[in-house]
Structure 1
Amino acid sequence: MWAPLPLCLLSALLATGSALQCEVCQSKAGSCSGPLQPCGPSEGTCVAAVAEFNLEANSFSYAAKSCLEPESCEPGPFTLTFTRNITVRANIACCDTDGCNAGAIPVPPVSPVPNGRQCPSCFAAGADRCRDMEPLACTGAEDHCVDIAGTLTLGSVTLTKAAAGCGSPGACVKRVGVKKYAQGVVDVLSRGECYPAPWAGGEL
């Protein structure tokens, strides 16, 4: 009766000690740092995410680090440009060793150089659809057209929007449904389309 008990306790301790540990933090800045925390049984990945938003006259950044389910992680940078120079610059990095998401990751640059392509564009805060579209000349690596609608949650901040414009290929991770980038960073889209941008002068 006594023999199995120490073995069970030892197994439990070993199982607890073997859990992946990730740095966990959130900040309304370009980077953040926090304590290492053990991940849940399904969370086999550490993630670091950073984004910069330019919404007409308002600009802000957001950074988050956490544990994440491996199937939720789609790493890589992406940029989006909507009408009225509303831009999103984001980067996501994933790894699978203890504390590997420490340190800062850069946001991708946005090039002002036209690439010869164009997309229909709009931005409507608090709406589920844009009423008017206007052509937007794409620049740099943004050679795809993106059309999205839904709600983005960044910690305690929630933004409901409908938007369309130019995006880099990495922006095609935005799809209909729930997309979790990190703990507290969730995109819920009712519409999400991404396709290669046509050359300027063709039909949109």
Structure 2
Amino acid sequence: MNAFLTGVIFLVAFTATGNSLDCVHCYSNDGTDCSGEAITCTDDMTHCRTITSEIMQDGDASHQVFKFCAEPEEHSWIHREELSTTVFQLESQICNTDNCNQGPGQITPRDNTPNGVKCKHCFEDHSSDCETEETRECTGDMNKCLFMSGLLCYNGKDYYDCTHRICTNIASPEQHPFYNDFVSGDIKKLEVTEGISDA
């Protein structure tokens, strides 16, 4: 699972022409802030966007941040996944004034309170499936179960197949931040289901 999380790569197009909004464009894989020049977005890019990731593993946190121009239909959102001792959070912030994304990216603290929902809980390297009877109680707003398989893991050079079943806070596959990788076929399976409730 660590290979998957540390191999997270955001496919972001950095474009800069036109006479519209100015946004900071930069990237850092070490922290929640980065500095870069403010560029003028194209006319169809009417917002500035900051995407911040946090991987919390065994109590240690690591962060990445991207800042760039965004399309008008973009909105702010938070995506969370939890597996064993690892929590992955991705947060997108949208604003629409010049250089409004120049500050640090935000990671909204998660609620660690068990919510009564359980999900099957497994991870398999070099596999297209993981079957288990083991479950984990989800916390906070993570009240759905996520099953993903495909080119999710990264060994420092190449992506390779792995699979996991985990708790998540999204309601449908289309809300997953890597849904486009499912459409392209790099992610083979992406399913969001109801959790196992004791009630």
Instruction: Please give the TM-score of this superposition, normalised by the length of structure 1.
Output: 0.69
The alpha carbon displacement at 1:151 in A equals 4.5
Counterparts of residues 96-135 of structure 1 (less than 5 Å): 96-125=96-125, 127-130=127-130, 132=132, 134-135=134-135
The alpha carbon displacement at 1:124 in A equals 3.3
Contact 1:49–1:93 (CA under 8 A) maintained in structure 2: yes
CA distance in structure 1 between the aligned counterparts of 2:27 and 2:126, rounded to whole angstroms:
24
CA distance in structure 1 between the aligned counterparts of 2:157 and 2:49, rounded to whole angstroms:
20
Q: 1:43 to 1:17 in 2, by over 3 A?
A: closer
Report the AA paired with residue 56 of structure 2.
N
Q: Which residue of 2 aligns with 1:65?
A: 67
Greater strand percent: which structure? 1
The alpha carbon displacement at 1:77 in A equals 1.7
Q: Deviations over 1:1-28 (max 9, x none)?
A: xxxxxxxxxxxxxxx6622221111111
The alpha carbon displacement at 1:46 in A equals 1.6
Structure 1, gaps ≥5 residues long:
1-15, 180-187
The alpha carbon displacement at 1:66 in A equals 0.8
Query: 2:41 aligned to 39, 42, 53, which one?
Result: 39
CA distance in structure 1 between the aligned counterparts of 2:189 and 2:67, rounded to whole angstroms:
27
Instruction: Please give the TM-score of this superposition, normalised by the length of structure 2.
Output: 0.70
* Count of residue pairs brought into register by the alignment: 176
Q: 1:49 to 1:131 in 2, by over 3 A?
A: same
SS state at 2:135 partner: strand
CA distance in structure 2 between the aligned counterparts of 1:32 and 1:157, rounded to whole angstroms:
25
Structure 2, gaps ≥5 residues long:
1-16
Q: Which residue of 1 aligns with 2:78?
A: 77
CA distance in structure 2 between the aligned counterparts of 1:114 and 1:38, rounded to whole angstroms:
45
The alpha carbon displacement at 1:127 in A equals 4.4
Greater helix percent: which structure? 1
Q: Which residue of 1 aligns with 2:87?
A: 87
Q: 1:85 to 1:191 in 2, by over 3 A?
A: same
Report the AA paired with residue 191 of structure 1.
K
Q: 1:70 to 1:191 in 2, by over 3 A?
A: farther
SS state at 2:197 partner: coil
Q: 1:111 to 1:56 in 2, by over 3 A?
A: same
Report the AA paired with residue 94 of structure 1.
I
